[in-house]
């Protein structure tokens, strides 16, 4: 079956700067795919190339088998993009904006019921006749999502859709995006909120300096070497003044009478650790362990990239 998005050897150069350096992967149909990376990693450039907003210097991108340059009409019909910036046309109302956007995609009055449904789903119905300028940032963000969906695209790309939105709106947007995914849309998401990628995405690519430095399922990503790390939080009766050298090497954080250590699952033992602490006269009052999360994976991989 044709992949939702095929990215083949994509390079993008801006003068001497390599924004994308041989990016190559597929997003399969029906996936909830996460694209992560630090600022300037090339995420938005890659999305722009997929959307046809920017031309690749080398390589090719296809949406559901349609090349984004040579077969742009079909690829754009299949793709909905929610841009990162809160852009809007100040001349028009919400309803006009949606009707105009639908018109660009060749849709006329027959799609108006769908546009009304979209506005209702995104809680925009009572703002339908309000000028875009008068909307709050959150409302503008909802309009951006509605605009991306006017033509019912099979593949939806959301470029940091929750950047700068409040917690309540973020939650409601995720409920909506999850629903889209359940309805069969392929979703590609870039986000800075790693816990969101962790809770939403099936598969994740991490981009750094224009290169894919990791591409795996969420479980695969967490089970990597980094996943063998384990965090141990220990509470003691009194703050520890001098931590033994062997433990100081593993110290991640120390705050009052709580220390957080990072252990290797294979070579370190929690029992040995407790014995060592007791040997120094420390009274342990509580202990709990945490598995590695996506943030650990991300920090580790990006850190390796910097080295």
Q: What is the spatial distance between Cα 298 and Cα 302, in angstroms, rounded to a whole number?
A: 6
Q: Which is nearer to another protein, 147 or 191 (CB)?
A: 147
Q: What is the spatial distance between Cα 272 and Cα 176, in angstroms, rounded to a whole number?
A: 48
Two tokens, residue 147:
């605009």
Does position 42 interact with another protein (CB under 8 A)? The reply is: no
Beta strand 32-36 with 203-208 is parallel
Provide the minimum distance between the beta carbon of 229 and another protein in the complex, in angstroms, as a whole number: 41
> Which residue of 3, 33, 63, 76 would you call a contact of another protein, by CB under 8 A?
76
Name the helix (H) or strand (E) containing 29. Answer: none
Provide the minimum distance between the beta carbon of 180 and another protein in the complex, in angstroms, as a whole number: 18
Stretch that binds another protein, among 35-43, 45-53, 120-128, 195-203 (CB under 8 A): 45-53
> Which residue of 91, 134, 199, 303 would you call a contact of another protein, by CB under 8 A?
91
Sign of the CA dihedral running 90, 92, 93, 95: negative
Q: What is the spatial distance between Cα 217 and Cα 196, in angstroms, rounded to a whole number?
A: 15
Q: What is the spatial distance between Cα 298 and Cα 110, in angstroms, rounded to a whole number?
A: 46
Q: Which is nearer to another protein, 74 or 172 (CB)?
A: 74
**Site residues for another protein, window 138-197 (CB under 8 A)?**
147
State residue 194 phi and psi, 5-degree precision: -65, -30
Provide the minimum distance between the beta carbon of 52 and another protein in the complex, in angstroms, as a whole number: 7
Stretch that binds another protein, among 30-38, 87-95, 252-260, 286-294 (CB under 8 A): 87-95
Name the helix (H) or strand (E) containing 295. Answer: helix 294-306
Query: Which residues would be at the binding site for another protein (CB under 8 A)?
Result: 14, 51-55, 72-74, 76-77, 79, 81, 83, 85, 87-92, 96, 100-101, 103-108, 147
């Amino acid at each position: 079956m044709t992949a939702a998005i095929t990215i083949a050897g994509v390079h993008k150069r801006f003068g001497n700067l390599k924004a994308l350096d041989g990016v190559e992967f597929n997003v399969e149909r029906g996936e909830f795919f996460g694209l992560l990376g630090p600022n300037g990693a090339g995420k938005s450039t890659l999305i722009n190339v997929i959307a046809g907003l920017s031309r690749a210097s080398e390589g090719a991108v296809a949406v559901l088998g349609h090349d984004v340059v040579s077969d742009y009409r079909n690829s754009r019909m299949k793709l909905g993009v929610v841009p990162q910036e809160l852009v809007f046309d100040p001349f028009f109302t919400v309803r006009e904006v949606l009707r105009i956007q639908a018109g660009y995609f060749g849709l006329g009055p027959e799609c108006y019921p769908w546009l009304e449904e979209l506005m209702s789903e995104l809680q925009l119905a009572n703002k339908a006749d309000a000028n875009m300028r008068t909307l709050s940032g959150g409302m503008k963000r909802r309009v951006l999502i509605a605009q991306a969906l006017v033509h019912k695209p099979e593949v939806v790309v959301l470029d940091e859709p929750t950047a700068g939105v409040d917690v309540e709106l973020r939650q409601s947007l995720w409920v909506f995006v999850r629903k889209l995914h359940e309805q069969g849309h392929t979703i590609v998401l870039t986000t800075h909120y790693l816990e969101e990628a962790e809770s939403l995405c099936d598969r994740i690519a991490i981009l750094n300096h224009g290169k894919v430095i990791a591409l795996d399922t969420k479980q695969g990503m967490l089970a990597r070497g980094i996943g063998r790390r384990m965090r141990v939080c220990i509470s003691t009766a009194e703050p520890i003044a001098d931590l033994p050298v062997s433990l100081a090497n593993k110290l991640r954080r120390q705050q009052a009478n709580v220390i957080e250590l990072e252990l290797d699952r294979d070579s370190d033992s929690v029992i040995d650790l407790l014995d060592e602490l007791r040997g120094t006269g420390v009274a342990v009052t509580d202990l709990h362990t945490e598995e590695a999360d996506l943030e650990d994976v991300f920090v580790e991989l990006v850190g390796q990239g910097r080295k």
